A = this chain, B = another copy of it.
Amino acid sequence: MNAREKIIHAAMELFWLKGYNSTSIADLLSRTQLNSGSLYHAFPSKQDVLIGVLETYRDGIEAMLLEPAWSKIDDPIEKIFALLAAYRTMIVESECAYGCPIGSLALELHEPDPPVRALLAQNFDKWTGAIEACLSDARKRLPKSTDRRALAQFILTTMEGGVMQARTHRDVSYFDRGIAQLRTHFDLLQKAAKAKA
């Protein structure tokens, strides 16, 4: 593991735990046992560390997030809820203190430089893209008029909003109720699709 990898690894964790602004270079150095010169040899600036982190998340969505969550699931709609369940596990394991690393960064960085904002958007796009693929696989169980892209974004919304409230109240049940509402929504959609058929 070279210096660059060490820093990215440490930064992924610290940005998630403390946020970007509250993570100092000194934090990264003490965590990695590196000196500042090594860090600045690997990255021109702190923002470039952030960019590296966001690229790593973007490029690792399948292997780090989707594949583990979907290893035992075939049904495309259940894949969606399995992914949400994976986030639930994350919430519980952190005692409701940390949420989605991308969502937190997206709201923390108020005026991000264009490359940073683009990477945040790419992360969201890849996530919703994967969900949209599930919805396409399940298209026969949904009303024909369903806007699958909008519905995929709505699932991201449900996740992020649920995480935000669960974190704020330090109580997973806020997340759970959001998922339950989404389940109701899917039940209604599937019923509507059947009624038309």
| A interface residues, Cβ below 8 angstroms from B | 17-19, 21-22, 97-99, 103-104, 106-108, 110-111, 117, 120-121, 124, 147, 149-151, 153-154, 156-162, 164-165, 167-170, 174, 177-178, 180-181, 185, 188-189, 191-192
Contact B117 A97 (CB under 8 A): no
Contact B150 A177 (CB under 8 A): yes
Q: Closest CB-CB distance, A139 to chain B, in whole Å?
A: 16
* A18 in contact with B168 given A147-B177, A181-B151 (CB within 8 Å): no
The prevalent SS among residues of A at the interface is helix
A-B contact pairs, 27 of them (CB 8 A): A22-B110, A97-B110, A98-B110, A103-B107, A104-B107, A104-B110, A106-B167, A107-B108, A107-B164, A107-B167, A108-B108, A117-B168, A117-B170, A121-B169, A124-B168, A147-B177, A147-B180, A150-B177, A150-B180, A154-B177, A157-B157, A157-B161, A157-B162, A157-B165, A158-B158, A160-B164, A188-B192
